[in-house]
Structure 1
């Protein structure tokens, strides 16, 4: 029963969180009352209350006297929460948030690669190497497998810094990578060019070359940023041309 309630709570958190992020429930507005949410979602008040506590922990809502549960300003949201990143990805039509995530990664991951080159144990290096080998194996034939291996590669590097404050950032990078690769690497063949870039980072870490590892990681992320910008521009161009095509007059008989 507890597991069922937890699953229901996660679904309510997802539904309400996504509605808030997409702007259906706007900043400063109150979310529907408990009894209304119970009827809409077919769950108990206990589930609703647990879900609201979870949303409050993410910085999305707060309780106010005589007003109920209010959506907080976006500046108060925990933008490093993986769930919020995923919800924003679903509403990021212009790609602005994906660009911001890439900028964040460019500020953090190069230094993490340098620290990994300095501090990683032999076992941690092997884990990074195994993640790269899985990327190499799945590139060109398995988009989902490549994505999982890519996320593992970057996460293992964060862990290899030896700094526990980098560990939560690995979750952010995982969510960011998932959003990024679904924009830029939709086809298996799109992943092939990423493999040698990751290999350069791997080699620098294993050779204990911090500066080389930092530069290689930055170059790789800059390449990703350029591909994201191209994908966004292509999508925007296609959208701008769509109405023109729909207005083309049909051939007369």
Structure 2
């Protein structure tokens, strides 16, 4: 990881956590001194924060933290920082609501638009999930799960849905990083992923959407059962 990426994560997490509240003005040099980073590294990180709508930069007034309503909520970086913070369960629930609105529709579309390559990729991803089911909190299972959902969104043929691939990936990665995944995969979850893949293969959009809805609902119930 590049130095400015590390600095970016540290600054982003501070802003998201509220340690640096909206409206507060800061000087880049102060951040650099506090974090032990060069001015160049801090400057590059601040540019990214500005592009995400998290800060505004003015020559004479320095860096001002913007309210969260101005942030690019779908930016993978912001999703990742929120999942690492105290409000992770709220973020997970909001992301579940987003997934409930998008992924069933994507599955329905994919049943009509997915080509042979995409259908094969979905099946292969599910098979890899089954293979690594005894380590559902491990890297191999996560990679297969990410591949399944990314393939689904792209196979929908809707560029807006496909554009959410990185956000959904952050959700799945975040669940593993925050140790929210069980060691052994839930059999129902595996079966539902298989049902989505099979429904898309046989061009049954309604069945694909139903199974995908069940996947998202099950994931949200798991989040709701976690202690605050």
Q: What TM-score comes out, normalization by structure 2 length?
A: 0.92
- Are 1:25 and 2:20 an aligned pair? yes
Instruction: Tell whether the 8 Å contact from 1:140 to 1:190 is kept in structure 2 after alignment.
Output: yes
5 Å matches for 1:209-248? 209-231=204-226, 235-236=227-228
Structure 2 match to 1:195: 190
Please list the CA deviations of residues 152-193 of structure 1 after superposition, one character each: whole Å capped at 9, or x if unmatched: 100000111122222220111111122345668533224433
Higher RCO (CA < 8 A, seq sep 6+)? 2
Q: Equivalents in 1 of 2:86, 2:146: separation in Å?
A: 21
Which residue is equivalent to 2:163? Answer: 168
Calculate the aligned-residue CA RMSD, in Å.
Answer: 1.9
* Residue aligning to 1:207: 202
Pairwise CA distance, 1:94: 6.7
The residue aligned with 1:105 is 99
Encode CA deviations 1:102-132: one digit per residue, 9 max, x unaligned. Answer: 0000000000001111000101111111111
Pair 1:50 & 2:35 matched = no
Gaps of 5+ in 2: none
Q: Which stretches in structure 1 are left out of the alignment for 5+ residues? A: 1-5, 237-253
- Which protein has the larger Cα radius of gyration, Structure 1 or Structure 2? 1
Matches within 5 A, 1:67-82: 67-82=61-76
- More displaced stretch, 91-100 vs 135-144: 91-100
Match in the other structure for 1:132? 126
| Offset from partner CA, 1:201-232 (integer Å, 9 cap, x none) | 1111111011111111112111211121112x
Maintained 8 Å contact 1:141/1:189: yes
TM-score by length of 1: 0.83
Are the counterparts in 2 of residues 184 and 190 from structure 1 also a CA contact under 8 Å?
no
